Amino acid sequence: MTDPSGSVRVAARWRRTRHRKARALDRAASALLVGAPLLAAAGVALARFGLALPGRALALAGLGALLLAAVGMLAQALSGVFSREREGALGASAQGLSFLPARGPSWRLPWRSIARIGANADARGEGTELRVETLDGDLWQATLDTDPGHGLEARALVLAAREAVALRALVVPLRAPEPPWPTRVSTGLGLFVAAMLTPSPMSVTLWILVLCVWLPAVVARFRRQRERRAVVGSDGVEVVIDGARRFVPFSCVADVDWDECGVLLRLTDGEELALPLVSPEDLRAPDEVDATAALSRRDLLLERCCEGLAAWRTRPDTEEAGGTGSLLDRQGRDPEAWRSKLQALSHDAGGAYRRVALDEATVASVLEDPHASVERRVAAAWTLALRDDPETRQRVRVVVESCASAPAREALSRAAARDLDEATLELMLEANAERAG
């Protein structure tokens, strides 16, 4: 069936395996079980030395850690409930893949969160088996209904899902380096112990150092380390490491290679940019859940980088194929004059274009061409946004989501929303500077 929003739904049964969450719960529960008796013992020792208040605080912290460990173990046991087989419908829409059970809450997987989609004939001969692997390591296994009257819909859903994942940019988390913090951590622990053992005036000063200096610095450092990802789009690869962003257009990439720990981009200027995804611990235990997910992400990143570079090199350049795209150029105009020029290229802000050289197909080809300048692609997105056509809007949305460059993606998104203003021009200039290197 097809709902009013255009998504395709097929009756299905599915099962979800939450590998990463189960592993995280197991590690957290194990750490709390080890830390609880240590905290309790430290509290008892401090109480015997006459420090009753800090001793009680540590003893209560140990009890709290023990309770949290019990809750974690219970949550891990209950996580098996969510992996049982469910029945309902599976839908593919512009936003993502939806799992709609007959009873209970539904789930939606955005296309950018999906790593791979595989399909094959079900072993029981009852339908098509769909395997959906997410970037965080979860696995969804669904059996689609292929009874007479539903086979074509099931095939259309699989094809639409594969195409949606392939067209959008891939976002992969990179591995953070091992935190070289033994000195910082030991310093903080030393301040913490000293604050409990020293007299009151000095204790207040040490507590201020712990709470206002050391702890915020550690939290900020960990937050920056979490911001590590690689984005592979139709225009290039964006790398974010510890909050610093770098965009590498495919025009600057000479070759893509791999090693055991990740993917290697060889640039035209001789630089080698490493994208680490696998840790040495993962290589020593490749059968572990986290290691399997990391190795899968490494292979997926290599595959998408190679595919993107090959598509970039083989795709014809619209700017060289003809001069029609130059009619979209700003040529120094302010935003208002540029909007007036672009609107004049169409008839009544939609419908048939006045100039044959700028029909809808030509404008769409400029928008979808990663070789075209950001300025022309923004103009094409704004011109197509004038058309009140759901298919055209969806086409523009897919192009926006296929960009790896953050400023280019934001500029195209603003143009698709008919916002062609000074903020959009600033994003265009930033995107042009990135492409120029």
Give just the sign of the alpha carbon dihedral 365, 368, 370, 375: positive
Task: Give the C-alpha separation, 37 to 82, whole Å.
Answer: 32
Integer CA distances (angstroms), 96 to 37, 107, 291, 300, in order: 46, 10, 27, 19
Domain coordinates of the chain in residue numbers? Answer: 1-167, 168-314, 318-436
Taking only the tens place, the pLDDT of each residue in 215-255 is 566 556 555 555 788 999 999 999 988 778 899 999 999 99
* Count, residues in the chain: 437
Q: Name the strand (E) or helix (H) holding 256.
A: strand 253-259
Taking only the tens place, the pLDDT of each residue in 134-158 is 877 778 888 887 665 556 777 888 8
Calculate ∠ Cα 133-138-142, nearest 5°: 60
Nearest by Cα to 342 from 370, 384, 374: 384
Contact assessment for residue 90 and residue 10, using Cβ atoms and an 8 Å cutoff = yes
1-167, which class in CATH? mainly beta
Q: Fold for 168-314, please state it.
A: PH-domain like (2.30.29)
Taking only the tens place, the pLDDT of each residue in 318-342 is 555 455 678 888 888 899 999 988 8
Of 331 and 122, the one with more pLDDT? 331
Strand pairing partners for 255?
A: 266
pLDDT surpassing 80 at residue 178: no
The conformation of residue 319, written as its DSSP 8-state character, comes to H
Q: Do domains 1-167 and 168-314 have the same CATH topology?
A: yes
Q: How confident is the model at residue 190 (pLDDT cuts 50, 70, 90)?
A: low
Q: Supply the pTM of this predicted model.
A: 0.71
Q: Which amino acid does the sequence have at 149?
A: G
Is residue 174 classed as helix, strand or coil in its secondary structure?
A: coil
